[in-house]
Structures are given as C-alpha cells and as structure tokens.
Amino acid sequence: MKIGAPSPAAASGNTRGPQGDATARPGPVGQAPARLNLTAPPSLGMGWLAPRLDGFHRQHPHLSIELEMSRDVRDLSSGQFDAAIRAGHGHWRGLHAARLFPCIFMPLCAPPLRRAAGAIEDPGQPLDLPLLGRPDWWRLWYRARGFPLADLSGKLGARLPETHLDVAAAVAGQGVAIASPLVFERELRAGLLVPAHTFVASDGRAFWFAAPVKRCQHDKIARLRRWLEAEAAATRQHARPFLSRVVACPPALGD
C-alpha cells in the first residue's frame, strides 16, 4: 500500500500492485513525500493496518508509506525496509521493538450462524458448520479450555492461505473462523461478525513494531512508531472485554 503520488494503476481504478500492494490517495501537490518502507503480515496489514493508513497520511502528509504484506520475516538490515510489524515475543537481534497488542484468537461467525455455532462448545459433539482457519489455533483454543485431545477430524473446512480470507468466508456465512477480535474489530463493530463463543485464547505472542536500533530514532520511523502505538492503544481500549478474559496457552509440540 502506497501513500503518496498516485500511480497509473490508481488512476485507472486498479489498486492492486505486483505484490498485492494498494495505492491510497495522493499527498500535497508540489511536495515530494519522504518514503517509508514498511513490511507486515498479510492479515494484520489487511485487517487492521490498511484501513487506518489514511489517518496517518492526514497527520503526516509529508511521509509516503510503502506497505509490503508478506508472511516472510524480512531482513531489516539490508536497507530495503525501514521497519516491520512482526508477531512474536519482541526479541530480535539488532532491532528495537515496541509492543502494539497481543495475539489473541476466538471463534467468530456471521450473526445468523451464532446458534448453530454453539455446538463448538463440546469438541465431542457433531458440528454442522465447518471450522475455518489454522488447525493449530483451533487445537490450542480447545486445549486452553481443557480439551487437550480434541478431535477435529471432519470438522475443518477449506484451507485458505491467510486469516483475513478465513474471516471473509465467515462473513459470507461459510463457517466459524478462528481469528483475532482485535485485528478484525471493524467486522465486529459493523455487525458482520459476532463471537461464536466467549472464550479467548492466546499463544503468548504479540504484534510489535520493529526497526533497526541504529535507525529507530530517525524522524520518519519515530513518527510512524508513535502513530502505531496510539492506534494500538485505542484498539486495546476498545477490546478490553476480550483482553480481560484471555487465557494463554503455549503451542504444543508439532503445532
């Protein structure tokens, strides 16, 4: 995602770039914005970050964000990227990391499916709806609830490559997705999704803003960090009902 001068793709209405990037509205006329290259996980980038980037542009019209979304952990020492948002425990050699919010997940479904989704309560009972999302997250969610040997055979739906696609399928009524109510708070606030169960689990990780120690105080990077910290604080505030009942459960061997 780019915030800066419009590209030909943007002018034609095609906002998809060669690597799945998108183009936002242009910066001030006559000013060449300073470019800031950021990499982030796809579902965090699509679900949480991208819808907010116009707010960053309004505050900092002199900065142009180039957002790459990839599951690969990019090398920030090469100079290709100024900073990253990463999921983990915040310990990366040579990087300064600022914690944004925890990685949590719970079952989410479209409102008309809430009653049918209640069958996920007991993993031993039949389920008429497919479970969408990462099988390891489902196993961890059940294990945190006291079902260490939950058998999910025949209950898992289509395997999609990214969590935001699982969420899109859940919005369309195709099943129950395991996903973060923080990352997908917009779908919850819009009523497109509802919690299919009240239990919230975590694998102990969090999302972090990371930048090389030698460059983390550069003006453009510091401005982005402060803006992200403020946005993350607002997300945590809104998500207090979910965060107050998180149960952390470390991943099992093999997950």
| 3-state class (DSSP) for residue 233 | helix
Q: How many CA atoms lie within 13 A of 1 on its CB side?
A: 19
Nearest to 238 by CA among 195, 203, 167, 188: 188
3-state helix, strand, coil in the chain (%, to 5): 30, 25, 45
| The token pair that represents 158 in the structure block | 């289509």
Question: In angstroms, rounded to a whole number, what is the distance separating the alpha carbons of residues 224 and 42?
Answer: 19
Question: In angstroms, rounded to a whole number, what is the distance separating the alpha carbons of residues 208 and 228?
Answer: 10
Give yes or no for a contact between 228 and 222, defined as CB atoms under 8 angstroms apart.
no
Give yes or no for a contact between 94 and 32, defined as CB atoms under 8 angstroms apart.
no
Per-residue pLDDT at 11: 33
| The token pair that represents 12 in the structure block | 């034609």
User: pLDDT of the chain along its 255 residues, tens only?
Assistant: 444 433 333 333 333 333 344 333 444 455 567 899 999 999 999 999 999 999 999 999 999 999 999 998 999 988 899 999 999 999 999 999 999 999 999 999 999 999 999 999 999 999 999 999 999 999 999 999 999 999 999 999 999 999 999 999 999 999 999 999 999 999 999 999 999 999 999 999 999 999 999 989 999 999 999 999 999 999 999 999 999 999 999 887 766
> Distance from first CA to last CA of the chain, Å, rounded?
32
Nearest to 197 by CA among 128, 121, 144, 113: 121
Nearest to 201 by CA among 130, 251, 158, 237: 251
Per-residue pLDDT at 79: 86
User: What distances in angstroms separate CA 62 from CA 7, 52, 111, 164, 194, one per listed residue?
Assistant: 17, 17, 42, 30, 39
Greatest Cα pair distance, the chain, in angstroms, is 64
Per-residue pLDDT at 74: 93
Tell me the whole-structure pTM to 2 decimals. 0.85
Per-residue pLDDT at 30: 53
Give yes or no for a contact between 215 and 95, defined as CB atoms under 8 angstroms apart.
no
Give 23's DSSP letter: B
In this structure, what is the dihedral angle of CA atoms 27, 42, 89, 143, given to the nearest 10 degrees?
150
Give yes or no for a contact between 50 and 43, defined as CB atoms under 8 angstroms apart.
no
Q: How many CA atoms lie within 13 A of 49 on its CB side?
A: 32
Q: How far is CA 125 from its chain centroid?
A: 31
Per-residue pLDDT at 251: 80
